[in-house]
Structure formats: structure tokens, C-alpha cells
């Protein structure tokens, strides 16, 4: 996969420049309406500016006021910058997509019987219009093929340059606007409205155009707004309490105290974290239709996985050849190899691969005659120089050799039974009319999936394998892959039933699918990942589309969701823990002139009250910038179980958040006083 939607780096110069610009345009209070913490910061910044201007106009010393006002503005700008840079990465990807959206003229069929066509601009097409698309044409809208077969280049959407076959009927009938027909022709029934095609939605998603707060973001926003109110009360009431104590408080300093206390760190980074979560999904070529879906991915309790393609490679593969009594193993293996040399099916290739891996190789002899598989003989093979090799279904081979049950050696019969019991498929091999051995074909579990399922289990995610196989085969694969549960002989309706049953227990379910018959289950699942190569109905029903059409992707999606939530929690904890140190910087500074005894609270030994306040404000602003990379990259997710993960992150971001500002503010204070800024 060479193409990635999120190929633009976070810190490309162009992205940074655009983000800087947008950091300033976002100063418009209307843009900040959804973010009470940063809006409050901006209000204080305006007030501080006014008081600095008044001081200058009045000829009073204003250096301190100007610096405070400047740093308050920088706090807002840094927060805006964080959001802008996250958005910028999406925008770059969206631009790439937009470039592929062409204003093509569609060939609208107005009379199907005579193939009468009028050229119509693509944006005027309505659902249920039928259009003709021929080789070299760009498909004008999303739709379903009603007639014809064509190869289509879908690189615009998937980045994959090899054309794919699309044909009417079945699960491969969906076509996407913006992709190009390379050969042949198709008639397409339009399914999307103008402006709401798959490509349009993809662009909107990537850009975050219709970004709405997710449930968890909403809850966090409520908490942050509540904390902001708490600190507003604490700071405003300080005027009355201070007056009683004979302390005169500079409103500017109170404003600074307020801004340092409210959770500006998480408030400034919250939306960046959300956008970055979508972005990380894009990086693995998954498009989510909403942030809600990404968040739900982190919460998934049950993962429904199709066996084929997700857990196993999807093709049965040879794993061993059991020799007939009296045959040497190599001889049996060679017979199996010769019987398979001309067999181009994946099973045939796997036998060749097995032989090669055991050091047995051969070429098709000159003049050899390949015997193809047929439904009547149910075997295939090779004839050469009067010799013959065959392989096929055990009963078919035995019948061809004209052997009775009793003439089959007991060892081979036992081997055949054992293979069947283990969920595998036995194939008999004959050489020159004699039984040579039995090939064991089995569904091979992908390497690494067992570990990933174990990881998921540690994080509390249950895996359920869905397969059409019989229960014996299913059980064998299930235990080999280490899934928690399986459903054999499953129909698409079973998937829907399982999802509903799990949801009734309050669990969140994720699944992936590509067939039209998966659509109801995809729609029902909390996280439904449709394959880009799948049916249109499936893509409509799911809330994520995997552009690589790789069913194992769902595991990565879960991790991205978890990472998103972890990052939010870590930054919130860090932000709140920071306040302790800020109090120890600002409270003594506020009161020490009138109440010298409170100098004892200056545990950091900050050089002067003004320097202490300025240092706290500067730290508060800089910490946002310092954490932008973490917000964009996300806190690393580790599958070590909830308890361990909590204690690890709590130490890192809770205790760390307590200590870091003590160090940071002290260092800034040393710098500020060395430079004589306050």
C-alpha cells in the first residue's frame, strides 16, 4: 500500500503555516463558542489588554501588564494552533481527494430500449437515474451496476492502482463516483444524491467539516465547564475575602490566577485529540463516518470475527503428507508434489510450497499432460512418460484405483479419520495406480492472531468467531486461534441475532463484513466496519469503511479507539494535577505584601511576586504547546489490563502532573528574573 490518505506529516511546513494562520482566525469568539475554557481565557485576555492599555495611557509602568496580556493571548493562540494543526492534516488529505472529484458529464440514459443518451452534468443526477459508463469514463456518481461487467480503477478512493472487476448482481455491483472505468462498459443506477456521495462524505469526514462532539467529549466538556465555574467562584469571591483581610488585589492578577487554574491544557487540546484519533484511523486507511464510532471502538466488549480472511488465510493449506505403509515419506511427498505441479489453485500451490519447504522440488516434465480437476472425477494430476500422479477426494481416488474398503491400509484410514476430526480436509494421493499417501489440508490460522486475541482478552474484549463450517472444524480452529467463543454453521441472520443478544446485555459489539447480507448486522453493530471492495449496501450500513478491505483491521480500530480515550484522560488528569503547583506560585504572590506570613507558602522560592505570577502564566501557555505532539500522537496503548494501565498512567500523568509544574515554574522564574522581565 503506497498511498495513504494521511500521508501529509504533522509538521510539514505548509501545514504548520496554515495552522498558524488559522490559529489567529480562530480568535473569533464565535469559533470558540463550543469551548468554554478557552473562551473564558480569551475574555480574560481582552480584559488584561484593556487594563494594560489603560496603564500605558495613564503613563504608569505597564511592562508586567503587557507581558501578562501577551501570554494570555498566546494561551488562546496555542490552543487554537493545536486544533488547527490537527485539522490541517485532515485538510491536506481532503484536498487530495477533492482533486479527484471531477465535474464530468454523465451519459444519462433516457430511454433504455433505444439506449438514447443525453450528456448531463454529474451534479444534476438524481437517485435512480441510469447512466452509461464506458472505458475511459469517470463514474459520475455512486451507484449499482444494473448491466455489464467492467474493470474499474478505484485508486482515487483506495490508492490501489490495480483495477478491480465490478459486475451487475452479487456483492461486487457497487461502484463509487470518481473512480474510472478502464475497460468494457456498465450501466449504473445512481444511488447517491448530489453532494452526499461516498467521496463527498469522505472529504467531509477527513476535514472534520461536520464534526460534532462525541458522547464522551460532551461529558468531558461538561466537567471542564463545571471546573471553570468552580474556579470562577473561587477567584471572584477572593475579592471580598481579600478586602476583609486588607489585601488589595489587582484584577489583572486575579484574571491570571483564574486562567492558570481553569483546565486550559485539556480544554485547549480536547478537539485536537479527537481529530487526531480520526487521523490515526486514516493512517491505517480506515474511514469512520463519525467520531462517535471511533470512541465506541474503544469501548467494544465483543468482537465478531468472520473466520475466513480474518482468523485464517481463507484457503486451506497443506500441512503434511502421511505416507502409505511401505512408502518413504519423501517418496509420498514427491508423489503429492507431482500430482500438484499443474494445479494452480491455492490448495495445489500450498502443496508445492510444503514440498519445497521440506527440500523436495520438481519441474513439470516436457511433454507432460496435465489432468485438470473435474466434477465427475473429483481429482486432478499429471501424466508423463507413462507415469501418472493423481490427488483428490479420498473416496474418489479409492474408487478410481478400484480398491475395496478392506484393501485400504488401516494406517491410512486412521490418518484420514484423524485429519477429519481435527477439522482438516484429507486428500488421497496415488502414484502409478497405487495409493501413495494422504495430504492433510487445513485452514491455517494467521500468525500473530492468537497473541492479539490474548491482548484483547486482557483489555476485556471478548472475541467470537463466526463461520459456516461444521461445529467440529469450527471448534478446532477456535481453539487454535484462541477465540473466546465461536458460532458454527452460521448464517448472516445469526450474526444479527448474536449482536442483538450481546447488546441486550449492555455490551458494545464490533464486526466487519462485506456482503450485502451483512448489511443488517453491520447497521446493528456499534462499530460496523465495511470493506471498501464490498457491496454498496454493506458500505452504507457500516459506520467505518476499510479502504484496504482487510478484516483484521478491526483489531487496530479498537486500539485506536482506546488510545483516543486514554489520551483524553491523561491530559485531563495532568491538567487538574498541575493546579496544585500553580496555587503555590500565585497565592503567596497575591498576598505576601499585605500578609508577610504567607511568604511561607512560597515553597518554590520564586524570586518576586510578579515573577511568580508571570512564570505561572507562561508555564500554563507553554505546556499546551509542549503537549501538542502527545495529543496528536496519542498516549501509547498497552494491553496490560485495566488495573496496571491505570496505575501506570496515573503515575505518569497524575503524579507527573503534580511535580512537573513545580519544576517548570521554577525554571521559568529563574529565566524571567535573569532577563529582568519582572
Partner 1 sequence: MDWRGWAEIVFTIALTVAVGWPLGIYMARVWTGERTVLDPVLKPVEAGFYAALGVDRNKGHGWLGYAGAVLAFSAAGFALLYAILRLQGQLPLNPQGFDGLSPHLAFNTAVSFVTNTNWQSYGGETTVSSLSQMLGLTVQNFVSGAVGLSVAAAMARAFAADRGETLGNFWVDLTRSTLYVLLPVSIVTALALVAAGVPQSLLANVTAKTLEGADQIIALFPVASQEAIKQWGTNGGGLFNVNSAHPFENPTPLTNLIEVVSLNAIAFATVVAFGRVAGARKEARALIAAMVILLSLGAAAIYAAETLTPQPAMVAAGITDAPANMEGKEVRFGAAASAVWAAQTTGTANGSVNSMHASYMPLGGGVAMFLMQLGEIVPGGAGSGLYGMVVMALLSVFVAGLMVGRTPEYLGKKVEAREIKFAMLAVLILPLSILGFSAISAVLPVALEGLLNKGPRGLTEILYAYSSATGNNGSAYAGLTANAPWWNTTLGIAMLLGRFAYMVPVIALAGAIAAKPKLKPTAGTLPSDSPLFVGLLIGIILILGGLQFFPALALGPIVEHFQVLAAAR
Point out the residues that are catalytic. Answer: 306
C-alpha cell at 239: 475579592
- Contact between 507 and partner 1 by CB under 8 A: the answer reads yes
- Which residues within the stretch 25-84 sit at the binding site for partner 1 (CB under 8 A)? none
Residue 676 · residue 597 · CB < 8 Å: no
- Contact between 502 and partner 1 by CB under 8 A: the answer reads no
- Which residues within the stretch 195-224 sit at the binding site for partner 1 (CB under 8 A)? 215-216, 218-220, 222-223
- Contact between 659 and partner 1 by CB under 8 A: the answer reads no
Q: Which stretch binds partner 1 (CB under 8 A): 86-94, 242-250, 468-476, 529-537?
A: 242-250
Which positions from 576 to 595 touch partner 1 by CB under 8 A, shown as an x/- string? Answer: xx-xx--x---x--xx---x
Dihedral sign, Cα of residue 461, residue 498, residue 516, residue 203:
negative
Residue 69 · residue 35 · CB < 8 Å: no
- Which residues within the stretch 116-175 sit at the binding site for partner 1 (CB under 8 A)? none
Q: How far apart are CA 42 and CA 21, in angstroms?
A: 17
- Contact between 461 and partner 1 by CB under 8 A: the answer reads yes
Instruction: Count Cβ atoms below 10 Å from residue 604 Cβ, excluding itself.
Output: 18
- Contact between 9 and partner 1 by CB under 8 A: the answer reads no
- Contact between 17 and partner 1 by CB under 8 A: the answer reads no
The DSSP annotation for 623-648 comes to HHHHHHHHHHH-PPP--S-HHHHHHH
Q: Which stretch binds partner 1 (CB under 8 A): 68-76, 166-174, 331-339, 505-513?
A: 505-513
Identify which of residues 1 and 640 has a Cβ nearer to partner 1 in the complex: 640
Q: How far apart are CA 384 and CA 366, in angstroms?
A: 8
C-alpha cell at 72: 494570555
Return the residue of 163, 194, 242, 365 that touches partner 1, per CB under 8 A.
242
Q: How far is the CB of 172 from partner 1 (least distance, A)?
A: 37
* CB within 8 Å of 499: residues ≥ 6 apart: 304, 509, 511, 521, 524, 525
Return the residue of 209, 362, 650, 659 that touches partner 1, per CB under 8 A.
650
**Quick check: helix, strand or coil at residue 134?**
strand
Return the residue of 120, 168, 239, 290 that touches partner 1, per CB under 8 A.
239
Residue 27 · residue 62 · CB < 8 Å: no
Return the residue of 166, 201, 334, 462 that touches partner 1, per CB under 8 A.
462
In order of 96, 172, 213, 288, 469, the CA distances from 201 in angstroms are 14, 21, 18, 10, 37
- Contact between 250 and partner 1 by CB under 8 A: the answer reads no
C-alpha cell at 71: 501570554
- Which residues within the stretch 251-290 sit at the binding site for partner 1 (CB under 8 A)? 261
Q: How far is the CB of 653 from partner 1 (least distance, A)?
A: 7
Return the residue of 99, 410, 597, 675 that touches partner 1, per CB under 8 A.
597
Q: Which stretch binds partner 1 (CB under 8 A): 44-52, 364-372, 389-397, 504-512?
A: 504-512
Q: How far apart are CA 341 and CA 351, in angstroms?
A: 9
Q: How far is the CB of 591 from partner 1 (least distance, A)?
A: 7
The DSSP annotation for 277-292 comes to HHHHHHHTTEEES-HH
- Which residues within the stretch 546-565 sit at the binding site for partner 1 (CB under 8 A)? 561-563, 565
Amino acid at each position: 500500500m503506497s498511498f495513504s490518505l494521511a500521508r501529509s506529516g504533522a509538521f510539514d511546513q505548509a501545514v504548520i503555516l496554515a495552522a498558524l494562520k488559522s490559529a489567529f482566525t480562530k480568535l473569533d469568539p464565535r469559533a470558540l463558542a463550543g469551548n468554554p475554557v478557552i473562551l473564558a481565557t480569551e475574555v480574560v485576555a481582552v480584559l488584561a489588554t484593556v487594563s494594560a492599555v489603560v496603564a500605558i495611557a495613564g503613563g504608569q509602568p505597564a511592562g508586567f501588564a503587557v507581558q501578562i496580556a501577551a501570554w494570555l493571548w498566546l494561551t488562546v493562540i496555542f490552543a487554537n494552533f493545536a486544533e488547527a494543526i490537527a485539522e490541517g492534516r485532515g485538510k491536506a488529505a481532503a484536498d487530495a481527494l477533492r482533486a479527484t472529484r471531477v465535474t464530468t458529464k454523465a451519459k444519462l440514459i433516457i430511454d433504455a430500449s433505444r439506449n438514447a443518451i443525453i450528456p448531463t452534468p454529474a451534479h444534476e443526477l438524481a437517485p435512480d437515474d441510469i447512466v452509461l459508463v464506458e472505458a475511459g469514463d469517470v463514474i459520475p456518481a455512486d451507484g449499482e451496476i444494473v448491466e455489464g461487467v467492467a474493470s474499474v480503477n478505484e485508486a482515487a478512493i483506495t490508492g490501489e492502482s490495480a483495477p478491480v472487476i465490478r459486475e451487475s448482481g452479487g456483492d461486487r455491483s457497487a461502484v463509487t463516483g470518481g473512480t474510472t472505468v478502464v475497460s468494457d462498459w456498465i450501466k449504473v443506477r445512481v444511488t447517491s444524491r448530489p453532494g452526499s456521495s461516498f467521496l463527498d462524505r469522505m472529504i467531509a469526514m477527513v476535514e472534520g467539516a461536520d464534526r460534532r462532539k462525541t458522547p464522551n467529549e460532551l461529558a468531558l466538556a461538561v466537567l471542564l465547564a463545571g471546573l471553570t465555574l468552580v474556579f470562577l467562584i473561587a477567584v471572584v469571591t477572593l475579592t471580598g475575602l481579600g478586602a476583609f483581610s486588607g489585601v488589595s488585589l489587582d484584577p489583572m492578577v486575579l484574571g491570571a490566577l483564574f486562567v492558570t487554574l481553569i483546565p486550559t491544557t485539556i480544554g485547549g487540546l480536547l478537539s485536537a485529540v479527537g481529530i487526531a484519533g480520526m487521523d490515526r484511523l486514516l493512517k491505517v486507511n480506515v474511514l469512520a463516518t463519525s467520531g462517535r464510532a471511533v470512541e465506541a471502538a474503544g469501548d467494544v466488549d465483543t468482537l465478531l470475527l468472520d473466520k475466513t480472511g480474518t482468523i485464517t488465510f481463507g484457503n486451506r493449506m497443506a500441512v503434511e503428507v502421511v505416507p502409505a505403509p511401505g512408502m518413504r515419506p519423501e517418496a509420498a511427498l514427491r508423489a503429492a508434489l507431482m500430482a500438484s505441479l499443474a494445479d494452480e489453485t491455492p490448495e495445489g500451490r500450498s502443496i508445492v510450497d510444503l514440498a519445497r519447504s521440506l527440500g523436495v522440488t520438481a519441474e513439470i516434465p516436457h511433454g507432460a499432460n496435465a489432468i485438470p480437476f473435474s466434477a465427475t472425477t473429483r481429482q486432478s494430476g499429471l501424466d508423463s512418460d507413462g507415469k501418472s500422479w493423481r490427488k483428490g477426494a479420498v473416496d474418489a481416488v479409492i474408487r478410481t484405483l478400484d480398491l475395496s474398503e478392506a484393501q485400504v491400509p488401516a494406517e491410512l484410514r486412521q490418518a484420514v479419520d484423524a485429519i477429519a476430526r481435527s477439522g482438516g480436509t484429507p486428500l488421497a494421493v496415488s502414484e502409478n495406480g497405487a495409493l501413495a499417501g494422504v495430504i492433510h489440508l487445513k485452514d491455517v490460522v494467521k500468525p500473530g492472531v492468537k497473541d492479539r486475541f490474548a491482548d484483547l482478552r486482557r483489555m476485556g474484549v471478548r472475541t467470537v468467531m463466526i463461520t459456516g463450517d461444521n461445529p467440529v472444524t469450527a471448534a478446532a480452529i477456535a481453539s487454535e486461534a484462541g477465540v473466546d467463543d465461536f458460532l458454527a454453521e452460521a448464517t448472516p441472520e445469526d450474526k444479527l441475532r448474536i449482536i442483538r443478544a450481546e447488546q441486550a446485555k449492555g455490551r458494545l459489539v464490533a464486526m466487519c463484513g462485506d456482503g450485502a447480507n451483512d448489511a443488517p448486522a453491520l447497521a446493528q453493530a456499534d462499530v460496523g466496519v465495511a470493506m471498501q471492495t464490498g457491496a454498496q449496501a454493506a458500505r452504507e450500513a457500516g459506520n467505518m469503511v476499510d479502504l484496504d478491505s482487510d478484516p483484521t483491521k478491526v483489531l487496530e480500530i479498537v486500539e485506536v479507539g482506546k488510545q483516543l480515550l486514554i489520551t483524553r484522560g491523561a491530559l485531563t488528569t495532568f491538567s487538574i494535577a498541575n493546579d496544585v503547583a500553580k496555587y503555590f506560585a500565585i497565592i503567596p504572590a497575591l498576598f505576601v505584601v499585605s500578609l508577610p506570613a504567607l511568604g511561607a507558602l512560597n515553597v518554590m522560592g520564586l524570586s518576586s511576586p510578579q515573577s511568580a505570577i508571570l512564570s505561572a502564566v507562561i508555564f500554563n501557555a507553554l505546556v499546551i504547546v509542549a503537549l501538542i505532539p502527545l495529543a496528536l500522537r496519542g498516549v501509547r496503548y498497552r494491553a496490560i489490563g485495566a488495573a496496571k494501565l491505570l496505575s501506570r498512567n496515573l503515575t505518569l500523568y497524575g503524579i507527573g502532573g503534580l511535580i512537573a509544574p513545580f519544576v517548570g515554574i521554577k525554571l521559568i522564574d529563574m529565566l524571567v528574573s535573569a532577563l529582568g522581565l519582572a
